[in-house]
Structure 1
Amino acid sequence: MAHDMEVVNPRAGLFRVILTAYGVLIYLFLFTPIAVMVLLSFNKSKVVGFPMTGFTLDWYSSLTQNMIIQDALGKSLAVGVSVTVLATVIGTAAAFPLVRAHIKYRSAVRVFITLPIMIPGLLIGVAILVLSTNILHLQPSLPIAVIGQTVLATPFVILVVSSRLESLDRNFERAAADLGAGPVQRFSFVVLPLVYPGIVAAALMAFTLSLDEFVVTNFIIGSDQTLPIYIYSQLKFGITPEVNALASLMLLGTITLVVVTTLGLRLIKMLTAKSRQEEKTGVPA
């Protein structure tokens, strides 16, 4: 037995080293471009690249004076919030019957609903452009961009919320019904508190997708521009440290949003658990 362990252990150790090295290489491959972008946003030179000629915050301060960037940021946030609300409401409403209703060929329906995920964004952009201009006679604008991005984000919301619903134990609802709770009470006090983490995660995903969306938006936004479109337009004249600074701030905003949402969900979970403990014991925790 001891001899076998001596034979196996070196191989297992070597295998762990290989896996660790492979994992480190994957993370370097994913995050090195982002780290370089953030680092070069502090480069004093107007030419993006190494070696760096100095450290400065001028490119960040110049963003506060650039009205075009501020306008693009405002439109990106407005579109993002609108898409988040619409996609979350529509996707959540669609997830409930998809999971709870007795639908024939449920798998086929699920594939049909999530079809926009599998269709290239180029085709969706052209389709919405043709529908809005040639059939509905609507010119490309911010509202059309909101509709197009909602089409893209809603399937993700459906997948996330339906996955949360499928893992929900129906015995909680049956117990509430036995205690006299009606459908509205069961939904408000049983189902919704158990499903809301999935809804929040889906809303966060919808906002992130909207903030990052370029292909479909570029077809249907018209003369307006969001931040991704502005950044793309600047690339035609060459990448500048100002663009790197803008992208770094977008990255920081996304990370902050994820952290705040995660901490908020944990806080709500703690408060809910504390409230349930007080109800059981009758003594404030």
Structure 2
Amino acid sequence: MAQKLNKILCSIFIALFILKIGAQEKDYKSPKTFELFNIKRKCVSAWQMEQLKSGVLIVRLDAQRKSIMHLLQLGDTVSALYLAAVTAQKNKHRVRAFLKAYSFSKVLFMYNFFSDSLRAGKTQGIFLDSNLLRLPNVNLQNSFYLLADEDYIFNSSIGFVPEDSADFVKEHGYPVRKMAIVLKNKYGHQLKSPFPYFQKDRTLSKTLYSFMCLNDPYVFFYLPLVNAIKYPKRVELEKSYTPERQVQIVEEWNEKLGTYFQNLKSNFPLNIPESFKPLLY
């Protein structure tokens, strides 16, 4: 009898606890809270769009450096060099797609392992041309830039973060889906709607396409480490990474940016509330 009574009391306690949590969430998600968040979203997005138009988009290229070095440490030089060749081919197609189909702002390219240098303001010698060769004389002249990655978008765990604490906040949350393009601010936080901050790859085909490897400098970087003189002659890529599909992806996203900007033009110059200005970076 006592055991049964304890179970009943325990059930009542749990039910009351859940109701309390629900009430707290309801209070937190009040209409005023949503309204303020929506105003922030629209103001910050409009400001970011205006700044990007006169600023720079920096496309970060995944160098797969850790994976390649791991394969080399395991002694699997064949797989390491092949991964380097695949990575180089994908990145070339991505760079050339942006150069061909992106027109909204100035665009620059760099490997993702230069991210710390970029944040520190050391930008000379980190940017790449269409052959993935360094451009020694290119500096980041504009103070405003956004980052474009191939990455997952998240159900973000962070709201709008003031710049004085942005460097200490990391994006966490549940990954929703990998996107061909995800736009982030200079602290690596994904942007928020209504900014068109991501672009899906709608390719369903898993067919592999073969591409000839040229004397790629990215592959040659690893050759001295393995005392090899040969590099892969051909690589196979999924359709998503073919030149044609990469161009289509960038074209679709570039059109979204242009449409959003045109819809905002009547609001320029923006009248940003003073309390929102710490969120503009």
**By the TM > 0.5 criterion, same fold?**
no
Higher-strand-fraction structure: 2
TM-score in terms of structure 1 length: 0.30
Higher-helix-fraction structure: 1
Larger Rg: 1
Q: Comparing both chains, which one has the higher relative contact order based on Cα–Cα distances under 8 Å and sequence gaps of 6 or more? A: 1
